[in-house]
Amino acid sequence: MNTHEFYMNRCIELAKNGLGTTYPNPLVGSVIVYDNKIIGEGWHRKSGEAHAEVNAIQSVKDKSLLSKATIYVSLEPCSHFGKTPPCCDLIIAHKIPNIVIGTIDPFAKVAGNGIKRLIENNCNVIVGVLEKECDELNKRFFTFHKEKRPYIILKWAESLDGFIAPDKTLRETQQEKLSPVWITNSYSRQIVHKWRTEEQSILVGTKTILDDNPKLNARDFKGNNPIRIIIDKSNKISETFSVKDGKASTFFFTQNTILTKKENIIYVNIVFDTDFLLNLTNRLHKYEIQSILIEGGSKTLQSFIDLNLWDEARVFIGNTQLNSGIKAPILSSIPKKTISIMDDTLKLFRNYD
Length of the chain counted residue by residue: 353
The number of CA neighbours under 13 Å toward the Cβ of 227 is: 21
Closest CA to 92 of 104, 105, 78: 78
Provide Rg for the chain, Cα atoms. 23
Cα separation, 150 vs 17, in Å, equals 21
Answer for the pair 4, 100: CB distance below 8 angstroms, yes or no: yes
- Choosing from 41, 53, 76, 158, the catalytic residue is 53
Q: Count Cβ atoms within 10 A of the Cβ of residue 34 and give its class: 0-12 exposed, 13-18 middle, 19 or more buried.
A: middle
Cα separation, 288 vs 249, in Å, equals 13
Cα separation, 87 vs 53, in Å, equals 7
Beta bridge pairs of residue 41: 31
Cα separation, 207 vs 93, in Å, equals 57
The helices-and-strands tally (H runs, E runs) of the chain is: 11, 16
Annotated catalytic, 158?
no
Task: Provide the phi-psi class of 193: left if phi over 0, else alpha when psi is between -120 and 50, else beta.
Answer: alpha
* DSSP designation for 84: S
Catalytic positions are 53
